Chain A
């Protein structure tokens, strides 16, 4: 089974900072990679799919890149409402696997 590894597991940054989260697949998954945001006490929300395509309604400060085994989620200017845990997920096969999550906090 393909494993998804995120780093870091948590980070603290100031409002306005650029934040980058990485996700690594143990085998190549082309661009079949999605990112989800889960705010505290809330349901996960799809942010990005196909590694870099923004879901409708998601602010443009979010962006994704990568292909194969290495992927990144970038928040260009961190906002208070971005406090959440972010998960990557592969979907190159019907067996879904999530990364372990990255908790983002405001410094």
Chain B
């Protein structure tokens, strides 16, 4: 059974940093692209970033380029999102999701972790 468990969310001041983690199990982690998708309170889904299985390719939505960094540790079956220079508009539930690159869409989602950026 595919399982994705996020952690690391919380309250942070504007301009601060936070690192999200996602523990994956139930599939061959290193074979899959992985994504972060966020959802602001009461709003729709926004794809944030993804990373290829071997970590060689990374892509970001324009609004987080230069501030967020996606990474992975295939030995630990873990995905990360380092978030710097946080803004109020980054407040959202952040979902870790299993991705497939261009062959198939995101198919499994974690339960999400809430990030609140506020003073």
* Assembled-state Cα–Cα distance A3/B84 (Å): 27
Select one of B101, B110, B111 contacting A94, CB under 8 A: B101
Contact A44 B109 (CB under 8 A): yes
Contact B105 A89 (CB under 8 A): yes
A98 within 8 Å of B by Cβ?
A: yes
Select one of B35, B62, B110 contacting A43, CB under 8 A: B110
Given contacts A94-B50, A94-B59, A101-B45, contact A46 B106 (CB under 8 A): yes
Instruction: Please give, as numbers and ranges, the residues of chain A lying within 8 Å of B59 by CB-CB distance.
Output: 94-95
Contact A91 B104 (CB under 8 A): yes
Interface size for chain B: under 10, 10 to 19, 20 to 34, or 35 or more residues? Answer: 20 to 34
* Assembled-state Cα–Cα distance A46/B105 (Å): 9
Contact A101 B106 (CB under 8 A): no
Given contacts A94-B57, A96-B35, A98-B47, contact A43 B112 (CB under 8 A): yes
A92 within 8 Å of B by Cβ?
A: yes
Contact B105 A97 (CB under 8 A): no
User: Which residues of chain B from 81 to 119 have a CB within 8 Å of any chain A CB?
Assistant: 95, 99-102, 104-107, 109-112
Task: Give 10 nearest A-B pairs by CB, closest first.
Answer: A34-B105, A96-B47, A101-B44, A98-B45, A91-B105, A43-B109, A100-B44, A46-B107, A49-B105, A94-B59
